[in-house]
Amino acid sequence: MAKNKCSKCKGELTKISHITNIHITGDDKNISLYSCTNCNNGTLFVSMYANVGYGENYFKFRIDLTESEAGEIKEKMENCPEPKNEECNCPAHDFLDEFEINNKDRRVILADEKDRWVYNNKNN
């Protein structure tokens, strides 16, 4: 897989922090904060495999952040006591879910592999 590149200057992105959250399907949702090594632009990446009764879908998107958003997200993520525990009740998990929902219009879809969805009718 190609490395993620900065949307502003095409510089290399470095992972700053990561939290595993839970999606409404019950699947793990990976939320990662990256920073550009050239321009310090912050980018939030969200990815997951969504498992439903009739198949699986992988998706990944990014949200480009303002400097203040990146700083706030970094602080929240760094204060999470259990970043790999999707059931952690710290403010960071709720904040990231709310941030993602409130910024749906800013998402840039990087992968949405609907072709993984398979109809599985066990009655035939």
Q: What is the pLDDT of residue 1?
A: 35
Q: What is the pLDDT of residue 2?
A: 43
| DSSP track, the chain | -PPPB-TTT-PBEEEEEEEEEE-TTS-EEEEEEEEETTT--EEEEEEEEEEETTEEEEEEEEEE--HHHHHHHHHHHHT-S-TT-TT--SHHHHHHHHHHHHTGGG-EEEEEEGGGB----TT-
pLDDT in tens, 65-114: 999 999 999 999 999 999 988 888 899 998 998 998 899 999 888 877 66
Q: What is the pTM of this model?
A: 0.82
pLDDT in tens, 14-64: 999 999 988 777 788 999 999 999 999 999 999 988 776 667 778 899 999
Q: What is the pLDDT of residue 58?
A: 83
